[in-house]
Amino acid sequence: MGTLPLSVVAYPLIVKALPPRLRQLKSAVYAASPLYFGISINCLACYNRRPPQKHIFMMYLPCVNDKGAVEMPNSSKPRKKKTSKTKAKSNTNPIQTLPEYYSVTFLHVTETHVENMQKETNQARAALISPYQEKIKRDQDTLLTGDEAWDTLHPLMEIIEEKIKDIISKHSLFFWFHLYRRVAPQSIAEEYEKSDAGTISTVRLVLETAFFKYAKSFGDDICLSNTLSEKEVLGGYFYEAHSKGGMTPDTIKKVWELYQSQPQWVLKEYSPDIQKSIYILEGYAYEYWRVTAKMRAISKGVALHVDRNGAWREARTKEQDALILSYDRRLDKGKHYLSTAKGLPSFVATKKDGTQSYIFCLQYNYDRHPFREFISENNPFKDQITNFVPALINTDNFINAHNSLIEPFFKRMGFTLRSLLLFLQALSYQHILYRGQTSHPAQDEVIRVWSTLQRAYTATSRSPEELNNELIRLLSLTSTEVDYINDVTPANFLRICEYLTLSEEKKERLSLWSYGPRPVIFHHGDISVIDLGGILTFLSNLFFGIRENAQQRGLDFEELLRTEIEQQGYDLLPVRFLRRPDEKYRETDLAIRIGNNLVLCDCRTSERPLDWIIGKPSVIEKRNKLMQEKIEKVLSIKEFVCENLPILNGDYSWVQSVISLGVVTEVEWIDSQEERYWLDKDNDLPVLMSIQELLDFLEKLKAQADASRNIR
């Protein structure tokens, strides 16, 4: 899995590009979501590195003397009462903030109660796998292939899932979300194991799906801060951590009162074992990914070597190893568009008039981009790394991309695709507007974005009816064209809200390996938790099970790609049929001129089957056959054009090179190193390219053509 480029999710498109009337709203903030901000270090992810020094956490903590007077940092005197004039001036200065309530405690527990978490995690992973190894061991080393190899590993997925369930089912869903969203997205793997962004992404998706499926719907393990004393919060470890740090009981009480002054959600239950469990869960999720990765390798023709002790490994040939490494490198490059299971891309490019509607989404910050890349000025958190990065979904482009699905979607859901996207748009606007508001308006935008990128969720006590009314009101303040008869109605929005909300019935349908169907909202008692971090996954899987006109879907794909190529400034030729005088011809979906190069593209959109994720051999074999047919067609088009170029309809006297490519939405597996399948094997460029690979290739080709022209 790749990430969307930061260039298309710049901060002005997040907050400042919101309609002015929306930016000026001063509505009440969510009753349940106030949050203090300071240096937010994800201690839970730091166990395999040198822990941060304690002063990092304390530097944003207002000093409280024994008399209860709040002092400014680095001051030996209590803060004096200031005049209103001075107060007004002070509001323009950087605000003094508390560290997040858990930071000192998590660091303390990590340093004093957890000796070697990496070692314990590795031991838990080994204990998970060893009984199954005992079950499948053979009298001698054995090589398994195809269905036999796949069937050997498949049962292990259920075993791992049961172990994950045993831990997660002890606590509420909100508890796990609150805890896990405070763990930085980094790898749990050993140094020699795969730990790229795609692997981290999959592990996080597996575990978050497990939270939705197996956690309790409600529990008293998470509460508002004003309902707990300083000795109760975090299972008593908040008090222990600050006491060990040298604070007196009265000082700890005063500090906790600061957290209570604006109630926020905090963990009531917490212990070293709970902290360990989050690592162990990630270790289990990594094993789950590892099994599915082996199963996908088996579907690519790799043999499974099982030794006499039951340990297994891939037995790749030299060619298989080179092809898999090439495939992984291609995947790691990511893509600049959202693709759905229907094989259709939704591009993020914006029109110059800026009138389109956007859904503000979030995805994990796997590549560790610092916060200053989003806000460079007046940013007290600029060197910190947020857990999430922003991504924008252009609703107009998403609808255009899925034009063939609009009618069947409505027939199945009872509401329009546009109404669903408008709901998500308004939901994301509300999240941005109301999260992280403070008494310092000048700081609100920075803190709001920081807050949003840290957690990606917010909680509201509004009822579904109240929430829907507020979303409709927000849409009325935008320049978005809204149909209040067919799309945006209270009845429609209530249906959509129910569709997006987790229920017991939906829990049964959730699958760890498909990551869905992903909810966007879940309840904790009377509280609704809204998760912007799940929208991309939700939209990616939105159309599973919906049947459309496949031919029309293919035509839509071709038109989408032609439009994108033109918008990027390439010379798209009007010719589609390359015809000889005797009327024999070949058709191409796109003909592009770049310098003296004629680039011919033949498109294919193919729905991604669910079983593809776990590499079911029959599914992969069928998909490989479809892609092989496309490659052969592409090669035959090139042969025809090269043989007949002088006599084809049109003027091709300028052509020195003919490049024929197949274009698909996702990176596809290439099962041969034969030269005919590769445009540039050394640089991982196959004849059958994803859209992103095509765009990158065209950019490089254009640069070469421009450089050649300048030399001449």
Q: Can you spell out the DSSP letters for 210-268?
A: HHHHHSBS--TTEEEGGGS-TTTGGGGHHHHHHHHTT--HHHHHHHHHHHHSS--EEES
The SS3 call for residue 106 is helix
> What are the distances in angstroms from CA 112 to CA 101, 237, 279, 540?
18, 11, 17, 43
> What are the distances in angstroms from CA 417 to CA 392, 464, 550?
17, 20, 18
Omega into 517 within 30° of 0, i.e. cis? yes
CB atoms closer than 10 angstroms to residue 441:
10
- For the chain, the residue count is 712
The residues pairing with 549 across neighbouring beta strands, listed in sequence order, are: none
Tell me which residue of 626, 638, 634, 636 sits closest to 550, measured CA to CA. 626
Tell me which residue of 567, 565, 554 sits closest to 590, measured CA to CA. 565
Phi-psi region at 264: left, alpha or beta (left = phi > 0; alpha = psi -120 to 50): beta
What local confidence, expressed as pLDDT, does residue 450 receive? 80
CB atoms closer than 10 angstroms to residue 139:
6
Residues 656-665 pLDDT 10s: 999 999 999 9
Question: How far apart, in whole angstroms, are the C-alpha atoms of residue 436 and residue 445?
Answer: 8
CB atoms closer than 10 angstroms to residue 351:
11
Helix or strand run (H / E) with residue 443: helix 441-455
What local confidence, expressed as pLDDT, does residue 131 receive? 95
The residues pairing with 501 across neighbouring beta strands, listed in sequence order, are: 521
Question: How far apart, in whole angstroms, are the C-alpha atoms of residue 313 and residue 299?
Answer: 14
Question: How far apart, in whole angstroms, are the C-alpha atoms of residue 514 and residue 518?
Answer: 9
What local confidence, expressed as pLDDT, does residue 438 receive? 52
The torsion angles phi and psi of 661, rounded to 5 degrees, stand at: -135, 150
For the domain covering 566-711, report its CATH number.
Answer: 3.40.1350
User: Does residue 477 contact residue 25 with C-beta atoms inside 8 Å?
Assistant: yes
> What are the distances in angstroms from CA 407 to CA 423, 550, 690?
19, 13, 28
The residues pairing with 173 across neighbouring beta strands, listed in sequence order, are: none
User: Does residue 149 contact residue 304 with C-beta atoms inside 8 Å?
Assistant: yes
Domain boundaries, the chain: 6-29+339-540, 114-221+269-332, 566-711
Tell me which residue of 485, 433, 435 sits closest to 457, measured CA to CA. 435
User: Does residue 337 contact residue 327 with C-beta atoms inside 8 Å?
Assistant: no
Give pLDDT < 50 ranges for the chain. 1-96, 352-353, 355
What local confidence, expressed as pLDDT, does residue 507 receive? 95
Task: Report angle CA 677, 564, 706 to the nearest 5 degrees.
Answer: 70
Tell me which residue of 429, 415, 406 sits closest to 480, measured CA to CA. 429
User: Does residue 502 contact residue 213 with C-beta atoms inside 8 Å?
Assistant: no
The residues pairing with 107 across neighbouring beta strands, listed in sequence order, are: none
Tell me which residue of 9, 25, 27 sits closest to 17, measured CA to CA. 9
User: Does residue 115 contact residue 182 with C-beta atoms inside 8 Å?
Assistant: no
Burial of 540 per CB tally in 10 Å (0-12, 13-18, 19+): buried
Question: How far apart, in whole angstroms, are the C-alpha atoms of residue 569 and residue 624?
Answer: 33
